[in-house]
Amino acid sequence: MLKETLYTLMEENQINIAELSNVMSKMNTVDIADIFEDLSKEKTIQIYRLLPKNIAADVFSYIVPEKQQIIIEALTDLEIGKIMSELFVDDAVDFIEEMPAGVVTRVLKNTDAKKRTIINQILRYPEDSVGSIMTTEFVDLKEDITVQTAFEKIRKIGVNKETIYTCYVISHDRLLIGVISAKTLLLAEPHDKVGDIMDSHIIFTHTTDDQEELANQFRKYDLLSIPVVDKEQRLVGIVTIDDVIDIIEEENTEDFEKMAALNPSDDPYMRTGIFKQASNRIIWLLVLMLSATITGSIIAGFEDALSDLTILVTFFPLLMGTGGNAGSQASTLIIRGLALNEIKTNDLFKVLVRELSIGLICGAALGVVNFIRIYLTSGRDVMLSFTVTLSLMATVLLAKCVGCLLPLGAKKLKLDPAIMAAPLITTIVDAASLSVFFTIAKIFLLKNL
Residues 423-442 that bind a copy of itself (CB under 8 A): 423, 426-427, 430-431, 434
- Scanning 14-22, 115-123, 156-164, 440-448 for contacts with a copy of itself by CB under 8 A, the matching segment is 156-164
Residue of 21, 105, 342, 380 interacting with a copy of itself (CB under 8 A): 342
- 316 Cβ neighbours under 8 A, 6+ residues apart: 434
Among the listed residues 358, 393, 394, 406, the single contact to a copy of itself using CB under 8 A: 358
CB 130 within 8 A of CB 239: yes
Q: How many helices (H) and strands (E) does the chain have?
A: 21, 6
Residue-by-residue DSSP string for 41-98: HHHHHHHHHHS-HHHHHHHHHHS-HHHHHHHHHHS-HHHHHHHHHHS-HHHHHHHHHH
As to burial, measured by CB atoms within 10 angstroms (0-12 exposed, 13-18 middle, 19+ buried), residue 9 is middle
CB 305 within 8 A of CB 441: yes
Residue 412 CB, shortest distance to a copy of itself, in Å, is 17
334 binds a copy of itself (CB under 8 A): yes
Window contacting a copy of itself (CB under 8 A); options: 100-108, 117-125, 142-150, 359-367:
359-367
Question: Are the beta carbons of 190 and 146 closer than 8 angstroms?
Answer: yes
Exactly one of 21, 22, 314, 439 binds a copy of itself (CB under 8 A); that residue is: 314
Residue 257 engages a copy of itself in binding (rule: CB under 8 A): yes
Min dist CB 155 to a copy of itself, Å, is 6
Q: Which of 170, 326, 384, 406 binds a copy of itself (CB under 8 A)?
A: 326
User: HEC states along 159-184?
Assistant: HHCCCCCEEEEECCCCEEEEEEEHHH
Q: What's the length of the chain?
A: 449
Rule CB under 8 A: choose which of 36, 60, 88, 315 binds a copy of itself.
315
CB of 95 to a copy of itself, least distance (A): 16
Closest CA relative to residue 119, chosen from 101, 102, 107: 107
190 belongs to the binding site for a copy of itself (CB under 8 A)? no
Q: Does 52 bind a copy of itself (CB under 8 A)?
A: no
Distance CA 311, CA 222 (A): 59
Please report how close the Cβ of residue 277 comes to a copy of itself at its closest, in angstroms.
Answer: 5
Point out which residues pair with 146 in neighbouring strands. 193
Number of residues that bind a copy of itself (CB under 8 A): 114
| Three-state DSSP state, 425 | helix
What is the arrangement of strands in the sheet containing 176-181, beginning at the earlier edge strand?
140-142, 166-170, 176-181
Q: Which of 8, 11, 17, 30 binds a copy of itself (CB under 8 A)?
A: 30
Chain positions 191 to 250 lying near a copy of itself, rule: CB under 8 A, are 200-201, 203, 218-222, 224, 241-242, 244-246, 248-249
One of 11, 49, 105, 365 touching a copy of itself (CB under 8 A):
365
Q: Please pick, from the candidates 131, 324, 407, 417, the single residue that binds a copy of itself as defined by CB under 8 A.
A: 324
In the complex, what is the shortest distance from the CB of residue 117 to a copy of itself, in angstroms, rounded to a whole number? 26
Q: Which of residues 103-122 bind a copy of itself (CB under 8 A)?
A: none
Residue (80 or 91) nearer to a copy of itself, CB: 91
For the segment 270-289, give every residue that binds a copy of itself (CB under 8 A): 270, 274-275, 277-278, 281-282, 284-286, 288-289
What distance in Å separates the CA atoms of residue 292 and residue 298, rounded to the nearest whole number? 10
Among 54, 297, 346, 448, binds a copy of itself (CB under 8 A): 297
User: What is the gyration radius of the CA atoms in the chain, in angstroms?
Assistant: 30
Minimum CB distance to a copy of itself, residue 22 (Å): 14
Contact 247, 127 (CB under 8 A): no
Q: Which is nearer to a copy of itself, 146 or 291 (by Cβ)? A: 291
Nearer to a copy of itself, 46 or 151 (CB): 151
Q: How far is the CB of 154 from a copy of itself (least distance, A)?
A: 6
8 A C-beta contact, residue 71 and residue 87: no
Find all residues with CB under 8 Å of 265, minimum gap 6, and list them: 257, 272, 276, 280
Nearer to a copy of itself (CB atom), residue 44 or residue 370: 370
